[in-house]
Amino acid sequence: MSRINTNVGALIAQTNLRRSQTDLQTALQRLSTGLRINRGADDPAGLIASESLRSEISGIGQAIANSERASNVLATSEGALNEVSAMLSTLQGLIVGAANEGAMSPDEIEANQLQVNSTVESITRIANTTSFAGLNLLNGNLSYITSGVDSAKIKDLQLNSVQFGSNSYIPVKVTVLSAATKGTLSYRNSQTTSNVTIQVQGTTGTTTFAFGPGTRASAIIFAVNGVSDATGVTAKAFTSGAFHSGVTFEAESYGSREFVIVKALGTSQPFAVIDSGGNSASYTEGKDALATVNGNRTMGDGLNLNLQSLGLDMEMLLSTATGTTKGATTSFNITGGGSKFQLGPAVNSNQQVNIGIRSVAASTLGNASVGYLSEIATGGAHSLVAGKAAEASDIVMEAIRQVSVLRGRLGAFEKNVLQTNVNSLQITLENVTASESQIRDADFAVETSQMTRAQILNQAGTSVLKMANQTPQTVLSLLQ
C-alpha cells in the first residue's frame, strides 16, 4: 500500500536511530568519565551500594591518617622522653659522685648540687614545652582526672588507659582480698648461748655477723639495722603475747619478691629461727596484696596493684594500713582526661582507644614512698648538700623506672596498636576500593565494543531513515 500522509517506515527508522544514538551517548559518557554509573538511572541498586562503599573508603582513609598522626604524636613524646631519660642517668652519676664524701670536698658536692638543680629544672621545662600542633604532651594535660581519691588509702595512682564509652565518668571500687605481708624470721632468745656467725640476706644483699656468747638481742638488732641498706633486712624486738625477748628479722618491703634468709654458718653454731607460723626455717618471703577493682582481680606486687582489663588499665600503691588489712575498701571516680585516638572508620567506642600520658615534671616523678624528684634540688628534703645522697639515688632510680615504663608503654601502643591498625586498614581499603570499582567503574573493553556497535547502528539507522523518507516519492509515478 502506498501512502504519503503517514510514513511508517520512517517512524520505525527514527525510533531505532534514537535508541542507537542514546546507546552511543551512554558509551561516550562512560568512556569519557571512566564510570559505568554516572547517575541513578544507570544502575539504581549499584549506585546505592557504591555510595555506601565510597563512604567506607573515606572513613578508612581518614582512620589511616588518624593512626599515622597518632604515631607522630607518640614519636614527639618519645623524643622528649629519651632526653629526660638521659638527664636522669646524668643525675644518677652526679648523686653517686657526691656520695663519695671521703674524696670530694664540700665545694665539689655543692658544684654537683648546682648541676642537679639545673638538670631538675630542665626536666620540668621539657615537660612543660613538649607539644605537637599546640597540644601539650608531657605536662599532665593528657593524664586522667580523678575525684574522691583518699590519699590515706591510696598513696600513688597511675591510670594508663580508660575507656569511657558513653559514660561521663568511671566509678572505681577497690576491695582488698588478701593482705600484704613482709617476710619475717624470729630468734626467740634474749641472748646468744655461744659463739655464732650468722648470715643475713635480703633482696639488696648479704652480710655476715659474728656474735659472742651472751650477746643480747638489743645488740643484734643494732648490728643488723646498721647495715639494713645493704641487705634489705631490718630487725626489731621479738614480740609474741607477753613474750618480748628475742629478735625479729624482717624484710624492708612487702611482697613475695621480698625475702629474708637468716642462718648460722657451720653446723656446730646454734641459732635457730622460726617463721611467722612457728616453724623452723631459714628462709621466708612476704605475700602480695590481692584485691578486686570493680570486681576484676588485680595482680599484686607487695602493696602495688596492677589491673589490666577491658576498659581500665591502672596501677596503684596502697597505703600500709589499707594493703595489710583484709576486707579494706576504698573508692574514687575517673571523671575525664586522657588522649582519645579515633582508629576506625566508624565513630564508636569499639574503634577508639584512650590512653593517658603522665606528667614528667620533676614534682611528679617519684612517689610518696621514696619522695619526688623536685626534692633533690637545693632546699629539698633529699638534696646532696643535706647529705641525702642515698635517698636522692632512690628517687632518681624510681624516676628512671617510671620514664622507662612510660616509654615502653607508648612504644608498645605504637607498635602493637597503631602500626597493626594501619596495616589492617590498608588491606581493608584495598578490598573495599576494589569492590567499589567493580560496581561503579566502566570496563573500557566492554564500553568500546558498545560504542562501536552504537556507531554502526547509528550510521545504518541514518541511511535507512534516508531511504524511508524517499519511499513516498514513488507515489508520483502513479500520477504520470
Per-residue pLDDT of 255-300, as tens digits, reads 999 999 998 887 566 788 888 888 888 899 999 999 999 989 988 8
Q: Which cell is 187 given?
A: 630468734
Q: Quick count: other Cβ atoms within 10 Å of Cβ 467?
A: 11
Tell me: pLDDT of 83 over 90.
yes
**Burial environment of residue 445 by CB neighbours within 10 A (0 to 12, 13 to 18, 19 or more):** exposed
Q: pLDDT at position 318, please?
A: 93
Tell me: pLDDT of 384 over 80.
yes
Region 41-67 average pLDDT: 89
Contact 342, 351 (CB under 8 A): yes
Region 99-106 average pLDDT: 86
Q: Is 105 helix (H, G, I), strand (E, B) or coil?
A: coil
Cα–Cα dist 215/196, whole Å: 10
Contact 330, 150 (CB under 8 A): yes
Q: What is the mean pLDDT of the chain?
A: 88
Residue 40, amino acid: G
Place 1 in a pLDDT band, splitting at 50, 70 and 90.
low
Residue 62, amino acid: Q
Q: Single out the residue of 40, 74, 6, 62 nearest to residue 417, CA to CA.
A: 74
Q: pLDDT at position 43, please?
A: 80
Q: Single out the residue of 4, 337, 329, 283 nearest to residue 169, CA to CA.
A: 337
**Burial environment of residue 266 by CB neighbours within 10 A (0 to 12, 13 to 18, 19 or more):** exposed
Q: Single out the residue of 277, 251, 278, 254 nearest to residue 262, CA to CA.
A: 251
Centroid of chain to Cα 258: 28
Cα–Cα dist 203/251, whole Å: 8
Contact 76, 357 (CB under 8 A): no
Cα–Cα dist 162/315, whole Å: 12
Q: Is 314 helix (H, G, I), strand (E, B) or coil?
A: strand
Per-residue pLDDT of 168-202, as tens digits, reads 899 999 999 999 999 999 988 888 888 888 999 99
Centroid of chain to Cα 351: 16
Per-residue pLDDT of 422-447, as tens digits, reads 999 999 999 999 988 888 888 888 87
Region 359-386 average pLDDT: 91
Q: pLDDT at position 268, please?
A: 62
